[in-house]
Chain A
Amino acid sequence: MRLRRAGLILLLLLPGLGLILVLIGSVIVMAFGQSVGYFALTGESGFSWEHWREQLDGRLLWRSFQYSAYIATTSSILSVLLAYPIAMWLRRPFRGSLFAGALLKAPLLVPGLVAAFLFINVISFHGFFNELMVWLGIIDRPIRMQNDRNGYGVIFLQVWKNMPFALLLLTGSVQAISDDVLNAARDMGAGSIARFRKVILPLTVPAMQAALVIIFIGAAGDFSFQAVAGPTQVNSMAQLMVRLKGEFGGYHEAGVVAVLLMALALFGSVALAGLTRFAVRAGMKV
């Protein structure tokens, strides 16, 4: 009877859970399998750590790893930092707040690649920004801003694209805090910073963590912003994967990068979520 019941539950779960397991599981198995020599598209398939050894010993992979971690961390934190004051501003409805909210969320509708092209058109050597600065007499001749070495352009694009998403999550969460709770804190002597630190932040931690994690994962795996506006001396992990596969036919090496990219997404987001909770708790005690 119990076995039949368990079977029935499994059967009911299968359409949803099964699909997820097949979609995610097959990607992970495929990537890991390729990284250790299986699923070879050219040559023989067979287990080997050689591709891992080769990649881990090279500088290219670690530079890409660091770069992607840096872009993902900076972009997710900046997006959330920028979204908080706007979410607070939009907490209570006011004349035009609906329009302001819609306008701020508009970047969600613009494909990333389009945004990147628009951006480099603005900041390119003879782009709108440089021409304007020269015309205004602020600079004598155009400055090189495109494909900057520190990836500021990519971070700008990531924040531009992802801040509205963070705003979407945080606005809902901030709006769910009742006026009475904030008034109670105020009544007991908490100024605006103390109210934010001790009431708003702790109550919006789940939304903040969700925003950080989702933006982090997206930015860690970015290809389009990096390809169009990113620095030329370093690759993002996704860019490196494509390069290893495309230029060198290195499917196994690309598999290694893919596994590391998934590890970065997993551990990076867990660390970010954990640190956030720790920081908020520490902030409450001060």
Chain B
Amino acid sequence: MLRVDDVTKTFEDGFRALKGVSLNAGRGDFVTLLGPSGCGKTTLLKVVAGFLTPTEGTVSIDGADVTREPPERRDTAMCFQSYALFPHMTVAQNIEFGPRQNRVAKDERLARLNALLTQVDLEAHQHKLPNALSGGQQQRVALARALAMRPGIVLFDEPLSNLDAKLRDQVRIEIRALQREHGFTAIYVTHDQAEALAMSDHVLVMREGAVEQEGAPEEIYTAPRTSFVADFIGAANLLTGTVLGEDGQGRWQVQTEMGTVKVASDEPPVAPSVHVSWRPEDAVLANGSANGSGTGENLIQAPIVARVYQGSFTEYVLDAPERPAVSLRVHATQFGAREGETLAFHVPPDRLRFLEQVAS
């Protein structure tokens, strides 16, 4: 359906926003481009939409090379971060704009309009101007306007970033439901890792114009390959480790800031000196908390520096036993310890991950 091959984009001022990015998305896939501001995700989206022409590389849709085609000739529709609704047109006129431009017959146009108004629950608002609608309603109009084109690919440029947290959850579910119902391919740009994990079939984590890692959300979360991905997707404890040896069964002895730990990994570390990560929620409190009982391996004892109550869990910030300048984070669902006390916990060896080599 969509194929982006080795795309590079260099702007007039010499800034390279994309460095050889490739992407494949099948029909009906929900692919998310995830990364911090300035990583090139919106540039990539604009290249796919046709608003930017790549300096190198190609973009193909359904096997046809559309690299030099303008946006109006591509089977794509975009949902903008700012919604980009036409302020002088009513909700219905906004939704009808695309089909009108494409000379869709009136009956068909009205059928699409009515169906979409029902789907996005805006029938009562169809004669209103966009400025009379709430943010969530405007976002739904933008979505309906894009869908009215019956595009094969819908491009979402951080569509939920202007909505409050509760509305964001609601619209997120609506977008996914509409995507499944209409069967379009979605390319979704966000910097919100929770959004990416919740919505996507496939995630591309981008950094400085390149894809750092790609895969299914579970894979990205549970098996990050670099410190950047581990840290960007959820919370992570990042350590530097020196590999001391292997026991022959895929269990590695590694010297880290929290002591010598065992890492269970099918893949060997990429270098003798590597970064190691583990998730705060993977810690198993040693004193019988609700997190369950530990295996006894990788027992760590560290002083609590701070305690942050987060509702469904409590985050403990600890000083690493062998290097107090390094902070460790542990999430516990039930535990009453306070600052100054010592927390004892296990990290199961299969929850520790080898990452990239430590830069010299």
Chain A residues packing against B (C-beta within 8 Å): 178, 180-181, 183-191, 194, 198-199, 202-203
- Enumerate chain A residues within 8 angstroms of B77, measured Cβ to Cβ: 187-188
Chain B: number of interface residues, binned into ranges: 20 to 34
Q: B194 on the interface (CB 8 Å rule)?
A: no
Contact status B71-A203, CB under 8 Å: no
Contact status A199-B86, CB under 8 Å: yes
Known contacts: A186-B71, A187-B49, A190-B101. The answer to whether A203 contacts B76 by CB under 8 A is no
Contact status A184-B80, CB under 8 Å: yes
The CA of A185 and the CA of B80, in the complex, are separated in Å by 12
Contact status A183-B51, CB under 8 Å: yes
- Enumerate chain A residues within 8 angstroms of B87, measured Cβ to Cβ: 181, 203
Contact status B86-A180, CB under 8 Å: no
Using an 8 Å CB-CB cutoff, how does the interface string of B79-99 with A read, 1 for contact, 0 for none?
011101111100000000110
The CA of A186 and the CA of B50, in the complex, are separated in Å by 10
Please tell me which one of the listed residues B72, B86, B88 contacts residue A191 in the complex, with CB atoms under 8 A apart.
B72
The CA of A187 and the CA of B69, in the complex, are separated in Å by 12
Contact status A183-B78, CB under 8 Å: yes
Contact status A178-B82, CB under 8 Å: yes
A91 to B: closest C-beta gap in Å:
16
The CA of A178 and the CA of B81, in the complex, are separated in Å by 12
A112 to B: closest C-beta gap in Å:
36
Query: Could you give 16 example pairs across A and B, Cβ below 8 Å?
Result: A178-B84, A181-B84, A183-B49, A183-B51, A183-B84, A184-B80, A185-B97, A186-B70, A186-B71, A186-B72, A188-B97, A188-B102, A188-B145, A189-B101, A189-B102, A203-B88
Contact status B88-A202, CB under 8 Å: yes
Count: A-B pairs, CB below 8 Å: 58
The CA of A194 and the CA of B101, in the complex, are separated in Å by 8
Contact status A187-B76, CB under 8 Å: yes
> Please, which residue of chain B has its CB at the minimum distance from the CB of A184?
B84
- Enumerate chain B residues within 8 angstroms of A188, measured Cβ to Cβ: 72, 77, 97-98, 101-102, 145, 149
> Please, which residue of chain B has its CB at the minimum distance from the CB of A191?
B72
Q: Do most interface residues of chain A lie in helix, strand or loop, or is the interface mixed?
A: helix
The CA of A185 and the CA of B49, in the complex, are separated in Å by 13
Contact status A189-B84, CB under 8 Å: no
- Enumerate chain A residues within 8 angstroms of B102, measured Cβ to Cβ: 188-189
- Enumerate chain B residues within 8 angstroms of A187, measured Cβ to Cβ: 49, 51, 71-72, 76-78
A187 to B: closest C-beta gap in Å:
5
- Enumerate chain B residues within 8 angstroms of A190, measured Cβ to Cβ: 72, 97, 101
The CA of A187 and the CA of B82, in the complex, are separated in Å by 15
The CA of A202 and the CA of B76, in the complex, are separated in Å by 26
Contact status A183-B88, CB under 8 Å: no
The CA of A191 and the CA of B102, in the complex, are separated in Å by 11
Q: Which of B120-149 contact A (CB under 8 A)?
A: 145, 149
Nearest 8 interchain pairs by C-beta = A188-B98, A189-B101, A180-B84, A184-B84, A180-B80, A202-B88, A189-B72, A187-B71
Q: Which of B44-84 contact A (CB under 8 A)?
A: 49, 51, 70-72, 76-78, 80-82, 84
- Enumerate chain A residues within 8 angstroms of B149, measured Cβ to Cβ: 188-189
The CA of A183 and the CA of B97, in the complex, are separated in Å by 13
Known contacts: A187-B76, A188-B101, A189-B102. The answer to whether A181 contacts B86 by CB under 8 A is yes
Known contacts: A178-B82, A183-B78, A183-B80. The answer to whether A189 contacts B98 by CB under 8 A is yes
The CA of A33 and the CA of B98, in the complex, are separated in Å by 58
B162 to A: closest C-beta gap in Å:
12
Which of A185, A188, A194 has most chain B Cβ within 10 Å? Answer: A188
The CA of A180 and the CA of B86, in the complex, are separated in Å by 10
A80 to B: closest C-beta gap in Å:
19
> Please, which residue of chain B has its CB at the minimum distance from the CB of A202?
B88
Given contacts A186-B51, A188-B102, 12 further A-B contacts (CB under 8 A): A180-B84, A183-B49, A183-B51, A183-B78, A184-B85, A187-B77, A187-B78, A188-B145, A189-B101, A190-B97, A194-B101, A203-B88
A186 to B: closest C-beta gap in Å:
5
A180 to B: closest C-beta gap in Å:
4
Q: Which of B96-126 contact A (CB under 8 A)?
A: 97-98, 101-102
B257 to A: closest C-beta gap in Å:
46
- Enumerate chain B residues within 8 angstroms of A194, measured Cβ to Cβ: 101
B328 to A: closest C-beta gap in Å:
43
- Enumerate chain B residues within 8 angstroms of A198, measured Cβ to Cβ: 97
- Enumerate chain B residues within 8 angstroms of A184, measured Cβ to Cβ: 78, 80, 84-86, 145
Which of A184, A189, A191, A202 has most chain B Cβ within 10 Å? Answer: A184
The CA of A241 and the CA of B77, in the complex, are separated in Å by 61
The CA of A189 and the CA of B51, in the complex, are separated in Å by 13
- Enumerate chain B residues within 8 angstroms of A189, measured Cβ to Cβ: 72, 98, 101-102, 149
- Enumerate chain A residues within 8 angstroms of B86, measured Cβ to Cβ: 181, 184-185, 199
Contact status B82-A180, CB under 8 Å: yes
The CA of A264 and the CA of B201, in the complex, are separated in Å by 67
Which of B80, B88, B98, B102 has most chain A Cβ within 10 Å? Answer: B88
- Enumerate chain A residues within 8 angstroms of B85, measured Cβ to Cβ: 181, 184
